[in-house]
Structure 1
Amino acid sequence: MPETATAPARQAPAPGWQEEVYRRAGEVPDISAFPTVDALLADFHALAAEHPGLVRPRRVGTSRLGEPLEAFTIGEAGADGPAHLVVGGVHPNEPIGACTALHLARLLCDDEGLRRRLGATWHVVPCVDPDGARLNEGWFAGPFDRGHYARHFYRPAPAEQVEWSFPLAYEKAYFDQTTSETFALMRLIDDVRPELMVTLHNGEMGGVYYYLSREVPGLVPALHALPGHLGLRLARGEPEDPLAPLWADAVFGMADVRSHYDHRESLGLDPVGMVQGTSSADYASRHGTTSLVAELPYWSHPAADDTSESGRTYADVLREKADALGASGRELADLLAEAEPLLDQDTPFLRASRAFVPMFASLAEQERARSGAPDASRPARVAEVFDAEDLVRCFRLRYGGMLVRALGAPVAAGTAPALLRRLHARAVALYERWQEEAARLEGTELLPIARLVGVQVGSTLAAALALQAEQSAAGTDRPPSPEGSPS
């Protein structure tokens, strides 16, 4: 490779940049509902019209149903700073990111001083899965109770999720059936080679937590402290990903699918069925990209950050979780098996049900195997018990609701035979029982959307400023690309 001149060091952010992050995170105005896809894109195009030259829309792909996929570049044309990529809608049941993308874009347009201090060109994808988002719009305007949310919930089968359908070849696992949306995001990542990529996710119940692809100096403590400045709890219970390294309370490193493959294999379980594609963060790592995910709940509960001992062993908690998942999965699997011969329409709800219903049994098998590990005999924290029990509630409400929608589609269309109508009625009755059981949980708090958006906006700004400080200290414009990646 020919020698090139060393790029000038980037200007370091002013001391105390963390305090500015906390302040800006708290300045998000009240938000009463989540935007529909059409409303979100209209707002972005209005922003581009208001700031011609500064905001430049471009089409980057096409959804499976023919929807144009757009990215909005924010920054002075010809600027030579690093690229930052922000992607909303990677899971279509997670619309907090839509509000975050819009607020961040407006902030960057309205505050020239902030934009210049960050020294980056921003590429914002408001919604990378519009087809999936439209299937959730039934709950976007509320009421924001868990029952209404779950009854109108849609999440694609894993192989159809933008976040988890990047190509993978590892051991016996092979996946190359990338969705058109994923392919568009792959091209965009390869085009802009982002220094920072933020994919906008959220969970449902509990506390705030993060995933970070590497430890950036100063960033982990800033992320850890941010929710407290907004009056939000950290998640201190059962981690969503038990293999992710813990760097601080609620701040995790990213464990990729290869680790999950190896872990399941070490437990004597089939790893292939639970591993399909890899993630956007894994794909972007070829460019030396630092990736950040801030996971936020719609609802919180006092048990979410209760670290006191529960009086039960962790092994017992895992076994009870496995038993509940196994029993619930069998009920759904029986309904789906009886209905399959009568279902002749390939809907997103049916494809998702075919993927997620068997996952109950696979996860139950994994948790039962984990309960036999030597370290599982320790006392379980209250937060761990709550999270284990709530995952069962979450799975029942999410995937039971999607099976009801799958069986209900031909009923609503007037094409369902009598047996299918009876199976649908059985599914509705089971689902209503699960909803009633979940509704008995006391102490649940609906969180203000603006505070949740504040966490994502603040964590994004914190990551950008921490990277700026790191590169300024190193005297380079961006981290070198990993060996073997494009340069």
Structure 2
Amino acid sequence: MPVSGPPRSFAELDDAIPRYDSFFTVREHRERNRALADKHDHVTYQDLGDSSGGNPLWAVTVGDGSRTALLFGAPHPNEPIGSMTIDFLLHELADNDELRASLDYEFVCLPVADPDGVQKNEGWFDGPFTLANYATNFYRPPPHRQVEATFPVEHEQYVFDDPIPATQGLADLIETHHPDLIYSFHNTGFGGCYYLFTEPLEPLWEPLRDLPDEYGIPLDLGEPEVYDSKAFEEPFYCLQTFEDQYKDAVGDEHTDPEEVLLGGNAYDHAHQFNEDVVEIIVELPYFYEPRISDETELDLSREAVIREGTERRRQLLREWQAAAMAVEKFLPDTPMAQEATGTAFFFEDQYDDKVEWAAASPETDKPATAAQAVDARYVRDYQLLPYVGMLLRAIDHAVMGAEDEARNRLLDAKEALENVFHKWIGELRGELDYETLPIWKLVAIQARAGLFCLDYRQRELDGDSG
């Protein structure tokens, strides 16, 4: 039933959010969650087994409402904001009886979905929070080892049933609790705020659009992360499901679905048990540039801006690929080395597709905005540099055990790639007026946005008409 009237603002929570100066490590999250469960009878800590790398997996539950909200942080391990947000919400819901009672939910939380990967990012968690330090301490596993890409799925003739342990733990929670709302926490490295939903919750568009501005953080009005994403309206995008991916793969005559598809995401799995489930994602950056929300029209078309930005980055791709090919046979067969080398060629294919799409799409004939230009030129440049940093880390690991000839080849490639890295980072520093965003503000936006959605869904399902 439609809901009228404004949503609750939850603005009073700002005073309760700690003013963090660093991100918690995996160990700190686990210890804080155990201590919280020991302190409160209405909080439970559940062991979920071990990750692929032998780290403990765990869930924390608070609240005893009639509906279930499933929250999980760091499915991409270079994105720790969500784990901080979950930590804050768990403590606030445990301590704030009035807030907990007002929300008719059981909150089932997996604070760190990929502890193996998060540990490999902890080198930048204490700062300094700079473009270079983030990029040189960045880690993300290959897709076949990612949490939200490996849920079991059966669709027409396609079957995937090889979940990693973290995904299996999350799938077990879904099968036990049948969530009504899923909040998967993600963030970007650079840009502004935008949202992903599995269905349009239009009454929330206005408050969600206004929310980041309360903290001086812009909306991301540049190019969408996936160039052909469906927008309900900017900056609210449709979250892609496995069915969407399958249709795209089958519809491309040059693509073998078996080669490009993996598993489903949390929504795909949860939808089997609750057809009314909704998933939300609030994307926020560590770094932002004010121009990312500038809608001033330029003399260039959007297609021209996309093409020029893509062609500019092909030089970086060529230099990255050259280094990857020079060292590939000397690198250990680790997820870090696999992703650091393979991603260079993935981006090349993606750029070809994006330029072809931009040339054929009528919507790119319109004038580009300043936001789209800064996105195409600078944000997308920076998107590549953490992967270059990851290849440098993989080379460092290989050097430690290499013999003379291999060691010399690795060190030569490292020197050349470091020069490339610093040249591109230097150009970005010179061109951008960027800021590092305070962690507490990012937590505040994610926490309040999630609570907006939970409160709205509660009133909608209860038939509250205002």
Deviation at 1:261, TM superposition (A): 5.2
Are the counterparts in 1 of residues 288 and 435 from structure 2 also a CA contact under 8 Å? yes
Q: Which amino acid aligns with 1:406?
A: A
Secondary structure of the residue aligned to 1:276 is coil
Are the counterparts in 1 of residues 3 and 463 from structure 2 also a CA contact under 8 Å? no
Are the counterparts in 2 of residues 62 and 184 from structure 1 also a CA contact under 8 Å? no
Residues 395-426 of structure 1: per-residue CA shift (max 9 Å, x gap)? 33111111111112121345543222222222
Deviation at 1:316, TM superposition (A): 1.1
Matched, 1:37 2:37: no
Equivalence for 2:135: 150
What is the CA RMSD across the aligned residues, in angstroms?
A: 2.5
Are the counterparts in 1 of residues 198 and 279 from structure 2 also a CA contact under 8 Å? yes
Matched, 1:49 2:34: no
Q: Which amino acid aligns with 1:352?
A: E
Deviation at 1:27, TM superposition (A): 4.7
Matched, 1:389 2:377: yes
Greater mean alpha carbon deviation, residues 166-175 or residues 405-414: 166-175
Q: Distance in 2 between matches of 1:139 and 1:324?
A: 28
Deviation at 1:172, TM superposition (A): 8.2
Alignment of 1:237-316 (within 5 A): 237-260=222-245, 262-263=247-248, 270=255, 272=257, 274-286=260-272, 287-288=274-275, 289-316=277-304
The structure 2 residue matched to 1:208, chosen from 188, 193, 198, is 193
Distance 1:240 1:171, change over 3 A: farther
Are the counterparts in 2 of residues 217 and 470 from structure 1 also a CA contact under 8 Å? no
Deviation at 1:427, TM superposition (A): 2.0
Deviation at 1:219, TM superposition (A): 2.7
Equivalence for 1:99: 84
Equivalence for 2:53: 65
Q: Which amino acid aligns with 1:451?
A: K
Equivalence for 1:120: 105
Alignment of 1:193-232 (within 5 A): 193-216=178-201, 218-232=203-217
Q: Distance in 1 between matches of 2:251 and 2:313?
A: 22
Alignment of 1:452-467 (within 5 A): 452-467=442-457
Secondary structure of the residue aligned to 2:431 is coil
The structure 1 residue matched to 2:408, chosen from 390, 403, 418, is 418
Q: Which amino acid aligns with 1:438?
A: L
Are the counterparts in 1 of residues 197 and 239 from structure 2 also a CA contact under 8 Å? yes
Deviation at 1:318, TM superposition (A): 1.9
Matched, 1:360 2:347: yes
Q: Which amino acid aligns with 1:435?
A: I
Alignment of 1:395-434 (within 5 A): 395-413=383-401, 415=403, 416-434=406-424
Equivalence for 2:124: 139
Are the counterparts in 2 of residues 25 and 457 from structure 1 also a CA contact under 8 Å? no
Is there any run of 5+ residues in structure 1 with no aligned partner, and where? 1-8, 476-487
Deviation at 1:305, TM superposition (A): 0.5
Residues 193-232 of structure 1: per-residue CA shift (max 9 Å, x gap)? 1111111111111211111111236333332222122222
Greater mean alpha carbon deviation, residues 413-422 or residues 234-243: 413-422
Q: Which amino acid aligns with 2:72?
A: V
Matched, 1:347 2:334: yes
Secondary structure of the residue aligned to 2:174 is helix
Q: Distance in 2 between matches of 1:319 and 1:14?
A: 44
Deviation at 1:333, TM superposition (A): 1.9
Deviation at 1:389, TM superposition (A): 1.6
Is there any run of 5+ residues in structure 2 with no aligned partner, and where? none
Are the counterparts in 2 of residues 325 and 361 from structure 1 also a CA contact under 8 Å? no
The total of aligned residue pairs comes to 459
Q: Distance in 2 between matches of 1:137 and 1:465?
A: 34
Q: Distance in 2 between matches of 1:31 and 1:80?
A: 30
TM-score (norm 2): 0.92
Equivalence for 2:221: 236
Equivalence for 1:181: 166
Matched, 1:328 2:316: yes
Q: Distance in 2 between matches of 1:73 and 1:139?
A: 29
Secondary structure of the residue aligned to 2:175 is helix
Secondary structure of the residue aligned to 1:456 is helix
Secondary structure of the residue aligned to 1:312 is strand
Matched, 1:165 2:150: yes
Secondary structure of the residue aligned to 1:18 is coil
Q: Distance in 2 between matches of 1:330 and 1:248?
A: 36
Equivalence for 2:17: 28
Are the counterparts in 1 of residues 181 and 454 from structure 2 also a CA contact under 8 Å? yes
Q: Distance in 1 between matches of 2:120 and 2:377?
A: 27
Secondary structure of the residue aligned to 1:372 is helix
Q: Distance in 2 between matches of 1:315 and 1:257?
A: 28
Are the counterparts in 2 of residues 60 and 70 from structure 1 also a CA contact under 8 Å? yes
Deviation at 1:169, TM superposition (A): 5.0
Q: Distance in 1 between matches of 2:290 and 2:324?
A: 36
Q: Distance in 2 between matches of 1:332 and 1:176?
A: 34
Q: Distance in 2 between matches of 1:234 and 1:177?
A: 37
Are the counterparts in 2 of residues 173 and 275 from structure 1 also a CA contact under 8 Å? no
Q: Distance in 1 between matches of 2:278 and 2:17?
A: 25
Are the counterparts in 2 of residues 100 and 453 from structure 1 also a CA contact under 8 Å? yes
Secondary structure of the residue aligned to 1:138 is helix
Secondary structure of the residue aligned to 2:147 is coil
Are the counterparts in 2 of residues 83 and 121 from structure 1 also a CA contact under 8 Å? yes
Matched, 1:441 2:431: yes
